Structure 1
Amino acid sequence: MSDRPTGSYGRDRFFQDFGLVLIFLIVVGILVVLSPDAFARPANMIGIIKQASINGVLAMGMMFVIISGGIDLSVGSIVAFTGVIAASLAHPGEYPLIVAIVAPILVGAAIGAVNGVSIAYGGIPPFIVTLASMIVFRGAALIASDGSPVFGVSGAFEDIAGGFVAGALPYLAVYFIVVAAISALILRMTVFGRRVYAIGGNATAAAVSGINVRAMQTGVYMISGALAGFAGLLLASRTVSGSPTAGEGYEMNAIAAVIIGGVSMSGGVGRWYGPVIGALLIAVIGNGLDILNVSSYYQLIIQGLIIYFAVLADVKGKAGRR
């Protein structure tokens, strides 16, 4: 259940701890060699960081859910719905900026709470609950926006995701770093984090030991929903609009980042930094394939194969430890 492996620090553990980092560095090195002028441009690097940051925020929430033994397919639709809400509240002179910031996060957390209660107390499988939510809130986004993007946001709202620290580091990257740091603190240093691993490893044993499994399940879905709402806010700020079609496929990218990052789909195992590197790796590969003029159709195949082999490695690794 712990995110820290035990035993002597040998070759297997080295690759377990740093294998993904090595893969990431190798991929970056190959792309630099293949297209040094385009890939290594500062503007392109900033674009990669921005893309990875929004997916990374989603992936951190998804990490809590998957470590606990669940899945959340609704995050892409939550991004769209909360983005529409944020943009609708961000028209100049109508509401204080804080309203447009807080509202999408609270709405996302509320949707996550509904998902969590339905799963924990209603006994409905996570796949079914979050699939239904994905459909419902995609429809809600379309209704709230009349099927069209919401424009006319204030300059202050645009600056939320559009600015830079010291003219170099995008605000989006700062948000991602802060979310990752808080997630790491929760998972490694708090009772809540240890219980997330416990219920993912064996929910029955966790319940017998006195853990309120239902409350914990509700909590992790609230975290996922709140971070999806935050990602919706950031995406709306970055695109200067709230689009009801935004976030399509984002749930798959978030799940991919978590799985590639070494978090087990069966729950109970995973390091906080895995989804961080996974999100960066997905962004780098997608950007590199675009630069190399690889068709988006083939990119989908490549992403699917990456997920397949990541899950296969997880399954084989577990079989080898039995």
Structure 2
Amino acid sequence: MADTNSVNTSGLWTDYISGGDKSSSKLGSREVNSNLDKDAFLRLLVTQLQYQDPLNPMDDKEFLSQMAQFTSLEQMNNMNASVSKSQAFSMIGKLVIGTIYDEKTNTYEEVAGQVQYVTLKKGEPYLVINGKEMSVNDVENVYEIQLDSINSNVATSQSLNLIGKHIQTIIRDSSGTPIEYIEGIVNYIKFDKGTPILMVGSKEIYPSNVMGISNGNMLLGKPIKTEFGEGTIDSIKYINGEPKVIANGNQVDLEDLAHLSQAYLLVGQEIGYGNISGEVTGIELIKGEVYLNVGNESISYKKYTGIE
């Protein structure tokens, strides 16, 4: 005959994993959490001993087996914590890149910079980078470089801030003649003897040569009018040191690349020149010169800015 006063402990393990609490009347009603720490394991063992059947107590071998599991779990946790802290402290002074999650704004942010120091929160190490905290698990890249001076530190910090940004530059030969226009997104930074180099695709660009920075395309892909009609800028080429706009496969002369870049900044703005006023709706190239389209009129960019 079954003992009606005995306690059924068969569901204790399941109830505990389900978040059950002995003081709660809704045992097992909380969200399932399969990640048990050493404290949870010990509480399980104590609960199992407390509610064991006195007429059929736990076998010594079973008890020793569970104690061995507990000891192994504790050693693994201690080892993992030690390795994590060791990794964190080894990154002090190095340049790291990673992505952190902001619970307040529910957004992810890419953080890059030199690890200033390590702080511990509930035993977990966090890297402090420019005042922001990053878990070791969130680190994506680590760079070990020698910063010879404050100036190189500043240059590196500025370069890291360009990751993900659109930049433009002109490559010149040894005589200073322009030979190539480059525009694109900075994918990552590499270092040559401590000097940061921006990587745009397979192109290497020194930060000092950057002539434009933006969150989007500056010239490539922009709409433009030429003698061949309306189109978009496919590329910028240099032929004998002179810039050429390639739009829809057609090559068009360009007097000054800087004028073209600056003119696009006026698109969407209200301007006035002489008897003409209104919103700049587009850019046009006429015999190599940049013009602003305002309604049905075209205004020379050089005349509007007073360059000539």
Give the TM-score normalised by the residue count of structure 2: 0.21
Question: Which is higher, the Rg of structure 1 or of structure 2?
Answer: 2
Higher helix share: 1
